[in-house]
A and B are shown apart, each in its own frame.
Chain A
Amino acid sequence: MKYIYLIIVLLLVVLTAGCINKNRITGEVAKDIKYIEIKGSDTLLQLVSNMAEAYSSIDSSAKISVTGGGSGGGIAALINDQADIADASREIKSTEIKQANDNGIDVLGFIIARDMVSVTVNENNPVSELTMEQIGKIYKGEITNWKELGGKDQEITLYGRQSSSGTYSFFMEHVLKGDYSTKMRNMDGNQAIIDAVRQDESGIGYVGIGYLVDENGNQVSGINVLKVAKDKDSEYISPLDKEKLPDYTISRPLYQYFANKPVKDSALYNFLTFELSMQGKEIVTKSGFDDITSTDNAHNEELLGKI
């Protein structure tokens, strides 16, 4: 009979062993294990992957994993202690900071790059420029036909991101200043929006500027990028116009957040300083984003001064 108990005990051991959570490795405790988990904004995905790749060529022992899932997802992962760095295309909300504090996490962050959100339509759509107000009305469902904007008599099909996306929240708060039309199709990523607008003559979509050019620096085909003006009396500017870029209105800082102070010379610390070095800034512009402004810089120094 005693075998039976032995088997049951063994079974329980095996079962519970699977349930025990491995302690998360944070920069705070581990200096030797160079493993960094980065999660968050799809807009930042390409840029941060490039950063990680470049950093790995300097320090080959560092293992950096970069995944998307949206800014909200990244910040939630940071709060739930499932990531070391959260990429975010929006600023962290006060509710999120509170939740982090409740979990004993002090969130720090800095601005890594600037991104322009571009508004795109199908290449056969004659509309080429819109004001911020018009874009807001389109997405709120107040303007529903291209005819009202000087286009064809065609109902507008809205394409946007899912609520876990930072671009979704940023666009809602800075362009719409209200709720999205419930008819908007919620797409899984920037690329999905581009694909949908390419197929849909009546479609309109918003994507990070990094998605407008392919690896060779050519503009992607099948879509038109709208010129956007702050209001009726301002100049209409394309986000592809490098010279006028600082005046483009739908511009936003992109953030990286991390939990607590990274220990000096830990993998996390070294990676973060690499991102802010000249080499890191080169990668920012190469990846199709804009360098951070002087005010962003001041903001960063203030934050990083704490480290």
Chain B
Amino acid sequence: MQNYRKQNEGIIEIFFLSVSVIALLILVSIFLFLFITGIKAFTQISLSDFFLGTVWNPTAYGEPTWGILSLIIGTLMVAIGSLIIAIPLGLASAIYLSEIARPEIREIVKPAIEMIAGIPSVVLGLIGLLLLSPLIANIFGLSSGLNALTACIIVAIMVLPTIISISEDVLTSLPKDFREASLALGATKWQMIRMTLLPAGLSGIVAAIMLGLGRAVGETMAVLMVAGNSIAMPTSFFDPIRPMTANIAIEINEVVKGSLHYESLFAIGLVLFVMTFAVNLISDIIIERQVRKYKW
């Protein structure tokens, strides 16, 4: 009997091991697939043309051009712009939920916020296309509301649940002693939040923001629907932009496997992969540090 149990445990152990190894294998093979296909593009496109060229037009009337700089700028504008909107809102909500809201209110609001994460991005895209973009055009007196700003607002909505939920968890899990010690020293509630809780939870909050950033960089559908997708280099948030994700989604349908256009789209995918991977890695490292600091 004893032996049988031991064997059973061994099987389960190996099962879990193989599942996690498979997850790792999938990650590595996706990277290799992207890398092997994408790298071929550089046999015909020089690195400087690719990264520093400002016009992406593989189906041009004349000579095709392969510069992704304006696409990278588009991606960065959406990522940074949406965070500028989402960080203050997200942080304020997280503080409210963890420190100020009565338990009954939190019971309702927190799940509601988390449900935003469940809205399909195409639905948010539609809302952006039909409701938000005319509104933006009206407010700012623009001819068209399909621009970077609209995309940033839509992506900010998508990023908010991540930032709020994780920041709130971080703040709630800070030791009770912090609050009590701070109040005992005569701090007001706001002083306690500002001077004790936020610094203590900072790395966790930064990790929440980084996870949100990863989402913003990778978001495709909603952005594609509202960003206008012009290939011109954007000069302001009122200009239409074409982020890398949208560009891949738009063009992958029309390319023939093995063509230069196909390979160059994979090269863009590789750039995106490296960007999101770096962002996620950094947030993981930061979370790890936070965990060690307070041993949650």
Interface stretch, picked from A23-31, A180-188, A277-285, is A180-188
Taking the closest CB of chain A, its distance from the CB of B239, in whole angstroms, is 8
Q: Report the nearest B residue to A77, measured CB to CB.
A: B253
Alpha-carbon distance between A203 and B15 when the two chains are bound, in angstroms: 60
Contact (Cβ within 8 A) B60 A76: no
A4 and B60 contact, Cβ closer than 8 Å, known pairs A99-B259, A157-B143, A182-B230: no
Cβ-neighbour of A8 out of B18, B146, B233, B259 (below 8 A): B18
Alpha-carbon distance between A178 and B60 when the two chains are bound, in angstroms: 8
Contact (Cβ within 8 A) B137 A200: yes
Q: Interface majority SS on A: helix, strand, loop or mixed?
A: mixed
Contact (Cβ within 8 A) A73 B253: yes
Residues of A near B224 (CB, < 8 A) are 188
Residues of B near A20 (CB, < 8 A) are none
Taking the closest CB of chain B, its distance from the CB of A5, in whole angstroms, is 10
Q: Which residues of chain B from 208 to 250 have a CB within 8 Å of any chain A CB?
A: 224-225, 228-233, 240, 242, 250
Residues of A near B231 (CB, < 8 A) are 182, 186
Cβ-neighbour of A203 out of B61, B144, B251 (below 8 A): B144
Q: How many of chain A's residues touch chain B, expressed as a range?
A: 35 or more
Cβ-neighbour of B15 out of A7, A96, A157, A181 (below 8 A): A7
Q: Interface majority SS on B: helix, strand, loop or mixed?
A: loop
Taking the closest CB of chain B, its distance from the CB of A244, in whole angstroms, is 30
Contact (Cβ within 8 A) A179 B256: no
Contact (Cβ within 8 A) B230 A183: yes
Contact (Cβ within 8 A) A188 B225: yes
Contact (Cβ within 8 A) B240 A185: yes
Cβ-neighbour of A182 out of B11, B62, B232, B251 (below 8 A): B232
Q: Which residues of chain A from 117 to 132 have a CB within 8 Å of any chain B CB?
A: none
Q: Which residues of chain B from 239 to 272 have a CB within 8 Å of any chain A CB?
A: 240, 242, 250-251, 253-257, 259
Interface stretch, picked from B34-42, B51-59, B275-283, is B51-59
Taking the closest CB of chain B, its distance from the CB of A43, in whole angstroms, is 15
Q: Which residues of chain B from 100 to 148 have a CB within 8 Å of any chain A CB?
A: 129-130, 133-134, 137, 143-146
Interface stretch, picked from A162-170, A207-215, A229-237, is A162-170
A179 and B61 contact, Cβ closer than 8 Å, known pairs A4-B14, A185-B240: yes
Contact (Cβ within 8 A) A185 B228: yes
Taking the closest CB of chain A, its distance from the CB of B226, in whole angstroms, is 11
Residues of A near B145 (CB, < 8 A) are 199
Q: Report the nearest B residue to A157, measured CB to CB.
A: B143
Contact (Cβ within 8 A) A199 B58: no
Q: Which residues of chain A from 192 to 228 have a CB within 8 Å of any chain B CB?
A: 192, 195-196, 199-203
A7 and B14 contact, Cβ closer than 8 Å, known pairs A179-B57, A200-B137: yes
Contact (Cβ within 8 A) A79 B18: no
CB of B7 closer than 8 Å to a CB of A: yes
Contact (Cβ within 8 A) A4 B256: no
Residues of A near B134 (CB, < 8 A) are 199
Contact (Cβ within 8 A) A70 B254: yes
Residues of B near A172 (CB, < 8 A) are 61
Contact (Cβ within 8 A) A157 B253: no
Q: Report the nearest A residue to B56, measured CB to CB.
A: A182
Contact (Cβ within 8 A) B254 A76: yes
12 A-B pairs, CB-CB below 8 angstroms? A11-B22, A73-B253, A99-B259, A163-B58, A178-B62, A179-B60, A179-B62, A182-B231, A187-B229, A199-B133, A200-B144, A202-B143
Residues of A within 8 A of B (CB): 1, 3-4, 7-8, 11, 15, 69-70, 72-73, 75-76, 79-80, 96, 99, 154-155, 157, 162-164, 169, 172-173, 176-179, 181-188, 192, 195-196, 199-203
Give the 5 A-B CB pairs with smallest separation, nearest first: A72-B254, A73-B253, A164-B254, A182-B232, A186-B229
Sample of 14 further A-B pairs with CB below 8 A, known A179-B61, A185-B230, A186-B228: A3-B11, A15-B22, A69-B253, A96-B256, A163-B250, A164-B250, A179-B60, A182-B231, A186-B230, A187-B229, A196-B146, A200-B143, A202-B143, A203-B144
